[in-house]
Chains A and B, each alone.
Chain A
Amino acid sequence: MVKYVMKRLLSAVVTLIVILTIVFVLVRQMPIEGYFDNFDKLDQSMISARLAQMGLKDPIHVQLFRFFGELLHGNLGTSARYRVGASISDIIAQKAPLSIQMGVMSMALAMLLGIPLGSAMARSKSKFWDKFGTVFIVFINAVPAAVYYIYLQSYGTSLLKISMLFNRDDWKTWILPVFSMSLGNIAYYAMWLRRYMVDEMNKDYVKLAKAKGLSNVKITMGHVFRNAFVPMIQYIPTSLMYTVCGSIYIESLYSVPGMGGLLVDVITRQDNPMVQAIVMIYSSVGIIGLLLGDLLMAVIDPRITLGKKEDVR
């Protein structure tokens, strides 16, 4: 167990370093305008002086080592255009809590709605709930999220008679962003839970339970659901990724002052250091999510740590 955890941690750290390096090197290829707030007014000598001052004229590996050194001190650099000279760590520390709060709420909502939907679909095979759920899942999976987010915002806000934009103190304006963010995950949970539950229902122990005379509710809740829920754990990291990516849309659509909206903001303003920092944070979230998912699975299913991964046959 310990060996597996160490191995998994090591690979996550290696991946993280590789990704941060790639991001760093790629962002260095950007036009240098993105490091200045008043590029047009500067002459050539001032530009090169500023670049040298920021250390952008050093060889790339020197820059990279300096960057990792700073990173270990929790320093992500300073913003160049978005809020000139402000520390990126401070900006993100301001913005992140709201995003995390919303993300957690939407994931909780997704479980709250997706799991009952999935089990309802499995139990009512080819009746109303199954059909409804299938249409819902196909729609959410096939239609690009941007499209239904837009319609949901427009019709939802006019239906609830609230403002189109997010307001932290008005709980009503939380409903639509959180709900929109959870839609993808609701479909995802429902789809997989239904599949696992249908698989479980065809197993012999269910027949035995039926033969013993257990009620349907007891079989579904006590046996089928429990067994079907275990493999669902592995979808939590992916759903975390969905939430993070969804937040990019949702936050800028509703003007939520969080990280996702910030990313869109700094991209349009071409603030290189900020883009670099936020992209790095998002990719770290993805990696940490996958790591957590694997560790959770290892805790729940001890077979994994024996080194027999499912796909290595």
Chain B
Amino acid sequence: MGLLRKIKTDPFEKRMQEVLRARREAAEKDPFGFAAYDHASAERSGYSNYSYWGSTIRVFLKNKVAVILLFVLLLLVGFTLIQPLLPNQHVSGQIINHPTTGVQMSNVAPALSTVRAVAQPGTDLIIMPWEDPEWAAVSNVLQTIKARTQFTVLEYGDDYCKVEIDGKTGYVKNDFSTKLKLPDNPQDTPYPSKSNFAIKLYSAPDDYTNNGDPLFVRKEYLNIEGENARTVSACDLCVLPSKAPFLFGTNNLGQDLWALVWRGTRTSLFIGFTVAVIEALIGILIGVVWGYVRALDRLLTAVYNVVDNIPTTIVLILIAYVMRPGIRTLIFAMCLTGWVGMARFIRNQIIIIRDREYNLASRSLGTKTGRIVMRNLLPYLVSVITMRMALAVPGAIGSEVFITYIGLGLPVSIPSLGNLINAGRKLISTSQSYQLVFPTIVLSVITISFYMIGNAFADAADPKNHV
């Protein structure tokens, strides 16, 4: 009866409500009096503005978790598709070498930006030999002071001391790595000092290098004179000649994991969606024939009994073993058994509604079978077909992970979530465990969202829950 409560409030309804209220009030005053004749009440009839899809959507929207996950999933899928078009992205699969040393940038920890330090205007920097039209490789190491070399401390600071050596002034680090020899009162400058280690003389009280490697600055911030340069304005000193950070770090080959993860997500989603669509198409086709054509029922039931008895995982393994590894093989193997559940479901539903009166009437009037199926039967099943497709996507993604784990999955040249997880698996207990964590988080968000949305939609599509 909840539906009756949600009656549209058009003018007629409004007037009716008023009349009813007046009558209720009258009845309260005199509960046992005769009711006067009222034309409006005499004409009143209950009607429902029930619409199946409206109710389905309404019930679905009541499930807050599912709605949030739907939102997250849409964002994620959208982001996955547009990610390569965004600015500051590395090309997926490209091996990134350090520009000056040529060494692979392998296992770089995740970072939010490439900026290592910010240099104030007027900072002296040294240009390192490296050619690029836009970026300059810089460092601020004036010279390396050999171990146990005497120098004079001009100013004492907690982190950096200003020193003089051979007529040059500069800064040296003052921490456990340098262990400067200091007098009892280090503030009482100047005094001679030395270090037991080889230390570096910096041009500013800061270390503008990446563990000894040069940093990179855009040339427009610099006033270059030969080997020396001075910053014109405050500028970012970057680890790489690019503003594109390694948000997810890099793998052991020096490939950007961020780009790989999204490329892998695209692959996995492609497999998932394709499998879901193909399974649905084959399942609906066979299910309709199976349910509608009585002559084929025995044969198709026999086929079903055989196919349904074969363990899906085993089919997957066998097909992936026999055929060449690739996306097509995986999709083929998954579809080979996946249609069975859908076909059986459609068949059962079709048998139930096939001989209802409206279908009999339709057939008697000469409607073609195709039209009966498309117009009378299938619209009943749309909700369940959608639900099964939503649940097929995480299933297919999970199968891909499984088959890759066994060693029969996609070649490494095609990044997929399964590939990335399999590669990260060996690093779980090392400091590079982020290479497993990021793909698994993305994977779990996708699969859990699809699963929850599919189930919430199934609940919402069930007319029992529409009241």
| Interface residues, chain A, with chain B CB atoms under 8 Å away | 11-12, 14-15, 18-19, 23, 26-27, 29-30, 138-139, 141-147, 150-151, 154, 158, 241, 244-245, 248-249, 252, 263-264, 267-268, 275, 279, 282-283, 285-287, 290, 311, 313
Contact = CB atoms under 8 A, between A and B. Distances in A.
A73 B447 CA distance: 46
B450 interface: yes
B359 interface: no
Nearest to A275: B321
Given A138-B448, A311-B348, A241 B322 contact: no
B306 interface: yes
Contact of A144 (B309, B319, B352, B398): B398
Given A142-B448, A267-B321, A267-B406, 19 more contacts: A15-B305, A138-B448, A138-B452, A142-B447, A144-B443, A146-B398, A147-B444, A150-B428, A150-B436, A244-B311, A245-B311, A249-B405, A275-B321, A279-B318, A283-B310, A287-B309, A290-B309, A311-B348, A313-B352
B355 to A, nearest CB: 11
A254 to B, nearest CB: 13
Contacts of A285: 311
B346 to A, nearest CB: 12
Given A146-B401, A150-B428, A279 B317 contact: yes
Nearest to B315: A283
A304 B447 CA distance: 37
A147 to B, nearest CB: 5
Nearest to B436: A150
Contacts, number: 109
B451 A147 contact: no
A253 to B, nearest CB: 9
Interface in B267-314: 305-306, 309-311, 313-314
Interface centre among B408, B425, B452 (most CB of A within 10 A): B425
> 6 nearest interchain CB pairs?
A144-B398, A142-B451, A286-B311, A142-B448, A245-B313, A144-B401
Nearest to A246: B313
Nearest to B65: A138
Given A144-B398, A147-B440, A154-B428, A264 B318 contact: no
Contacts of A144: 394, 397-398, 401-402, 443, 447
21 contacts: A15-B306, A19-B309, A26-B318, A27-B318, A29-B322, A138-B448, A142-B452, A143-B447, A144-B402, A145-B402, A146-B421, A147-B443, A151-B428, A154-B428, A154-B429, A263-B406, A264-B406, A275-B321, A283-B311, A286-B310, A311-B348
B359 to A, nearest CB: 15
Interface string B53-75: 00000000000000000000000
Nearest to A249: B405
Contacts of B317: 263, 267, 279
Interface centre among B322, B352, B436 (most CB of A within 10 A): B322
Contacts of B318: 23, 26-27, 275, 279
Contacts of A11: 305
A313 B351 contact: yes
Contact of A141 (B305, B352, B451): B451
B263 interface: no
A283 B314 contact: yes
A145 B406 CA distance: 13
B93 interface: no
Contacts of A151: 428, 440
B241 interface: no
A282 B311 contact: yes
A23 B321 CA distance: 11
A18 B425 CA distance: 38
Contacts of B406: 248, 252, 263-264, 267
B407 interface: yes
A283 B402 CA distance: 18
Nearest to B450: A142
B200 interface: no
A146 B419 CA distance: 12
B74 to A, nearest CB: 18
A287 B308 CA distance: 9
A267 B450 contact: no
B132 to A, nearest CB: 42
A139 B451 CA distance: 9
B344 interface: yes
A292 to B, nearest CB: 12
Contact of A19 (B310, B313, B321, B351): B310
Contacts of A146: 398, 401-402, 405, 418, 421
B69 to A, nearest CB: 10
B70 to A, nearest CB: 14
